[in-house]
């Protein structure tokens, strides 16, 4: 499906509905929350008082397997949750919202971004570790079926594992206002113990050829996925 196929009303209402429930696709839950669901929103406001909690502990905050995280990208240490590593590519003040919803068929992840460079193409994936001041600390891509070769010689660049069905790819091209919305749907659920911990925005679109699969140029911004 084309990323832009989602209409704005769907985006707003689906953001509030944290769980799609077993009855149907994400859009089916719009406006009515399933019993027992607890939708919430995490503010991405700068938190200079605790600039390195995720960096030093691997994430005191609870991991996110369902729900929504919003962040405003700022240089570290102005923000430890949503960091821009390259202000020319991800201008300070740009925002990103990641919503994770379980569906009857698996998992849907939606990225909504604003304040980026108009008409620019970005790569984006979910990664295994929280953001720190060092881009590489966010680790490799989250993989549903881990690439056995990547343990010895990371990263995983085998298209059999580094592909948008086994990983969560959210590449997008910003519109004329610097905004974008993209959705990825998987037929599996995130690991409850070790779910993805961050969204990494890259400077280039994601490659798919063998030997380069999954690579997308420098890491230009990072949003930690956590409940607080």
Q: Which residue ranges make up the site for Cu ion (CB under 5 A)? A: 125, 200
19, exposed or middle or buried, with CB in 10 Å at 0-12, 13-18, 19+?
A: buried
Query: How many Cα atoms are found within 13 Å in the side-chain-facing hemisphere of 199?
Result: 34
Choice between 108 and 156, CB closer to Cu ion: 156
Choice between 59 and 123, CB closer to Cu ion: 123
Choice between 81 and 125, CB closer to Cu ion: 125
Beta strands in 35-81 (DSSP E): 41-42, 67-72
Q: How far is the CB of 35 from Cu ion (least distance, A)?
A: 36
Choice between 74 and 200, CB closer to Cu ion: 200
Q: How far is the CB of 125 from Cu ion (least distance, A)?
A: 3
Sheet holding 121-127, edge to edge: 82-84, 219-224, 198-202, 121-127, 172-173
DSSP-derived secondary structure letter, 74: B
Q: How far is the CB of 211 from Cu ion (least distance, A)?
A: 16
Choice between 76 and 142, CB closer to Cu ion: 142
Q: How far is the CB of 12 from Cu ion (least distance, A)?
A: 27
Q: How far is the CB of 140 from Cu ion (least distance, A)?
A: 8
158 Cβ neighbours under 8 A, 6+ residues apart: 147, 149, 150, 210, 213
Q: How far is the CB of 32 from Cu ion (least distance, A)?
A: 35
Q: Are 171 and 205 in contact (CB under 8 A)?
A: yes
Q: Are 172 and 179 in contact (CB under 8 A)?
A: no
Rounded CA-CA distance 89/70 in Å is 19
């Amino acid at each position: 499906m084309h990323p832009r196929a989602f209409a704005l009303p769907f985006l707003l209402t689906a953001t509030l509905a944290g769980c799609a429930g077993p009855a149907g696709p994400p859009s089916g839950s719009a406006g009515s929350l399933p019993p027992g669901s607890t939708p919430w929103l995490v503010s991405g406001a700068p938190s200079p008082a605790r600039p390195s909690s995720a960096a030093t502990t691997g994430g005191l905050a609870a991991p996110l397997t369902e729900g929504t995280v919003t962040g405003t990208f700022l240089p570290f240490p102005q923000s430890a949750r949503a960091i821009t590593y390259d202000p020319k590519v991800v201008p300070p003040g740009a925002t990103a919202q990641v919503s994770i919803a379980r569906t009857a068929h698996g998992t849907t992840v939606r990225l909504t971004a604003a304040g980026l460079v108009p008409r620019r193409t970005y790569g984006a994936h979910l990664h295994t570790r929280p953001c720190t001041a060092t881009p590489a600390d966010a680790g490799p891509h989250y993989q549903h079926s881990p690439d056995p070769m990547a343990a010895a010689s990371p990263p995983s660049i085998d298209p059999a594992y580094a592909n948008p069905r086994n990983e969560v790819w959210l590449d997008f091209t910003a519109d004329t206002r610097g905004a974008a919305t993209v959705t990825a749907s998987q037929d599996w659920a995130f690991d409850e113990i070790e779910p993805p911990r961050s969204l990494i925005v890259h400077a280039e679109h994601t490659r798919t050829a063998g030997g380069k699969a999954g690579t997308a140029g420098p890491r230009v911004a990072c949003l930690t996925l956590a409940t607080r």
